[in-house]
Chain A
Amino acid sequence: MTTKTGIEVSVAIGEAVRLANADVVAAYPITPQTHIVEHLAELVADGDLAAEYIPVESEHSAMSACLGAAAVGARTFTATAGQGLELMHEVLYVASSMRLPIVMAVANRALSSPISIWGDHSDAMAVRDTGWIQIFTENGQEVIDTVLCAFRIAEDQRVLLPVMFHLDGFHLTHMVEPITFPEKSKVDQFIPPNEYPLPLDPNKPVTMGGFGPPPIYTEVKWAQEIKLREAKEVILQVWQEFGDTFGRYYSPLEGYRSEGSRVLLLTMGSFSETAMAAIDKMKGDGKDVGLINLRLWRPFPFAEIRQAVKDAEVLIVLDRALSFGGPGGPVCSEIRSALYQQERKPKVIGFVGGLGGRDISVAGFEEIVSRGIEISETGSSQEFEIFGVRE
């Protein structure tokens, strides 16, 4: 019997990592990730999680220690945010390129300067191309379920890639939400022991991380790209099995009252919940608008996106990150590119908003949709518009 518990989402992540029997946690504290690693440290200190907690001296070393732990076959977890993720940047490439199945929570935070501890997706977008599987989460329950699925996906012998999942700093990390924790025995069945195929082991010496001259580098990178793309199949299988076991099903993206809608709004992360409320209100007002919540960011779900928006006339994309001097927010620009060759496609209108922790309310989403529809009819002199800026 499982019951809902009111618990802070960050603390719940610690509980999920405990359920998943992590072996090593290496972490450096940074707001708004702190409650996650504090709870993990508590669990280890109380003997409730049999793991080594490495209190490293930086995020660069956090991810580096994770490389080492994963390379000897330990189940490895870390968490970070904003500047911390940026400091890890070069190490992230190594984790994916060396096929080390590390799981990381990112409490999304804006990037300096000016320094901001509050949320947006600038940190996530800056590590878009690091070769990690990336999943955006919408609410506390989804975060917890994603922790469990992440270990299962990362350690799958067909995948062996690191997984980072994003949850909005403060908007999600610091919320107390009703969460159902799966039974330990079922989790143990769902996540089998980590059998890393070629760990560092004196009984069977391997060389990891040799240097790649021009005749080899391209092949290595292409093999990595193929593995990341193929990982999607496994992600879908794991989500299916998770649903069959625990009753909650996930997919690369999901529509909310989107079927047959002329206008679609696309959001990611916790803002999708507010956007749903806005959709309900607009539907009530007789507006023909629905919502797409994009969950799987890497590998990018091309087919699902194309299918989900093909019958719409207008697709309004909200990015919580700026691509300075570029074509718009990173999400909008990828979706435009995914649709460009399609025969049937909606007009794609880009907005950037919710930067550095600024909230977007139900009324805000209504405004975005109205302005988006207006731009689709009259055009705009800008590549994208920024929402709610004071000029």
Chain B
Amino acid sequence: MEKYTVYSPKSITKLMTEEEQLAPGHRACIGCGEALAVRLACKALGNSVIIVNATGCMEVVSSQLPYTSWRVPWIHTLFENTAAVASGIEAGLKIMTKKGKRLPSDVTVVAMAGDGGTSDIGLQALSGALERGHDFIYICLDNEAYMNTGIQRSSATPYGASTTTSPAGKVSIGQITWKKNMPAIAAAHDIPYVATACPSYPFDLMTKVSKAAAIKGPAYLHILSVCPTGWRCPTELTIRIGRLATQTGVFPLYEVEHGKYKLNVDPPKLKLVSDYLKLQGRFRHLSEDAINEIQQRVNEEYAKLKEQVSLKLGSIALAGKDCGV
């Protein structure tokens, strides 16, 4: 991945299409990591795509009537049903192609939702769609709170973060629960492909989107989207903070392909979590003890992930053979 840390202009080598499916002029905040993530994902997807968007930041900034930022077919209906709408689209395309009612062409169905739309209100619909095995990509754009409605906590908000509904106060640290492990929940559905990504690693993100599109069956991408507005950080630090999330082990970049874990960025030595936390106002109230507690947790989680990565699939003898079943 390291070779992609420097942007390569077209004159040297064309690594990225110049075509923009998400048109400029949308209303995202300055420094929005999510808009960048969507832009990059769209570049990887190309034009043969149908996007289903949940209610949330992305929908609001890109679709205010009578304008649209979308140059590809795009639909928004409600908050919690994105995966279900995508199921209907996928099934509809499949049967109509079969019946010859439309030209057979490869259309990628992509559902997009925020962390609230995914890990809270949309979890049931997502679980249903993953379990049924629809051929689609689900992208969770995780900015770690309900940013569109004014920075309210979600189950994806990290421990210790101050939000408007988990405010740090005289007797509270802010968010008192640990971030829900959404990629693990997705992986528990035994789908062909699960990956984490961050627009601070653009080529890694695009590669994963392309891979997800090529795979038959459900693919789940969890993209960390730095939100300067909600994270209380300078807008020019979006990319740096995203990189720090990975470099500190707070948000590791990995893939789970047919059950096999792979770390995509594996620094020889992780940076201190405090390097990541100290740049963000949402963590500014944290005591040294609290930061140590978070550091401890990150170490443990990272070790668990490394353990998963080192697991060799297929090394366990099949019980049935020995038992004569």
Contact = CB atoms under 8 A, between A and B. Distances in A.
Contact of B73 (A56, A69, A193, A200): A200
Interface string B130-169: 0110000000000000000000000000000000000000
A193 B99 CA distance: 12
Contacts of A193: 101
Contacts of A61: 81, 83-84, 87, 124-125, 128
Nearest to B81: A64
Contacts of A303: none
B94 interface: yes
A207 B92 CA distance: 18
Contacts of A324: none
Q: Ordered nearest first, which 6 A-B pairs have the shortest CB separation?
A: A68-B88, A57-B128, A65-B88, A64-B81, A64-B84, A210-B63
B92 A72 contact: yes
Given A51-B95, A202-B49, A68 B75 contact: yes
Interface string B87-110: 111111111101101100101000
Given A65-B85, A67-B88, A200-B50, A74 B71 contact: no
Interface in B46-66: 47-50, 52, 59-60, 63-66
Contacts of A129: none
Contact of B76 (A23, A74, A209): A209
Contact of A69 (B48, B91, B125, B128): B91
22 contacts: A23-B96, A23-B101, A24-B91, A26-B88, A50-B99, A56-B87, A56-B128, A57-B131, A58-B128, A64-B125, A65-B84, A67-B75, A68-B86, A73-B96, A91-B77, A200-B89, A202-B73, A205-B71, A207-B63, A211-B59, A211-B65, A216-B65
B100 to A, nearest CB: 11
A66 interface: yes
A56 B96 CA distance: 20
A213 B75 CA distance: 17
A49 to B, nearest CB: 10
B128 A72 contact: no
Interface string B164-204: 00000000000000000000000000000000000000000
Interface size bracket, A side: 35 or more
Contacts of B298: none
A216 B68 CA distance: 14
A50 B89 contact: no
Contact of B89 (A57, A69, A207, A220): A69
A241 B99 CA distance: 28
Contacts of A98: 77
Given A54-B88, A70-B88, A76-B92, 18 more contacts: A23-B92, A23-B99, A23-B101, A54-B132, A57-B124, A65-B87, A65-B88, A68-B87, A68-B89, A73-B102, A200-B50, A202-B50, A205-B70, A205-B74, A210-B65, A211-B59, A213-B64, A216-B65
Given A61-B128, A202-B48, A26 B75 contact: no
A311 interface: no
A58 B124 contact: yes
A255 B131 CA distance: 51
Given A202-B50, A202-B107, A68 B76 contact: no
Looking at A26, A200, A204, which has the most chain B CB atoms within 10 Å of its CB?
Answer: A200
A211 B64 contact: yes
Contacts of B52: 68
A52 B133 CA distance: 13
B125 A60 contact: yes
A67 B87 CA distance: 10
Nearest to B74: A207
Contacts of A216: 65-66
Interface of A: 23-24, 26, 50-52, 54-58, 60-62, 64-74, 76, 90-91, 94, 98, 193, 200-202, 204-213, 216, 220
B3 to A, nearest CB: 32
Given A68-B87, A202-B47, A212-B65, A91 B81 contact: yes
A212 B63 CA distance: 9
Contact of A57 (B75, B101, B127): B127
Contacts of B91: 24, 26, 52, 54, 65, 68-69, 74
Contacts of A71: 75, 85, 88-89, 92
A210 B76 contact: yes
Contacts of B49: 202
B80 interface: yes
A218 B101 CA distance: 36
Contacts of B80: 60
A22 to B, nearest CB: 9
Given A72-B93, A210-B63, A66 B73 contact: no
A209 B79 CA distance: 12
Interface string B304-316: 0000000000000
B270 interface: no
Nearest to B99: A50
Nearest to A74: B92
Contacts of A66: 88
Contact of A64 (B64, B70, B77): B77
Contact of A210 (B68, B92, B99, B101): B68
A24 B95 CA distance: 8
Contacts of A94: 77-78
Nearest to B59: A211
Contacts of B68: 207, 210
Looking at B74, B75, B90, which has the most chain A CB atoms within 10 Å of its CB?
Answer: B75
Contact of B50 (A60, A65, A72): A72
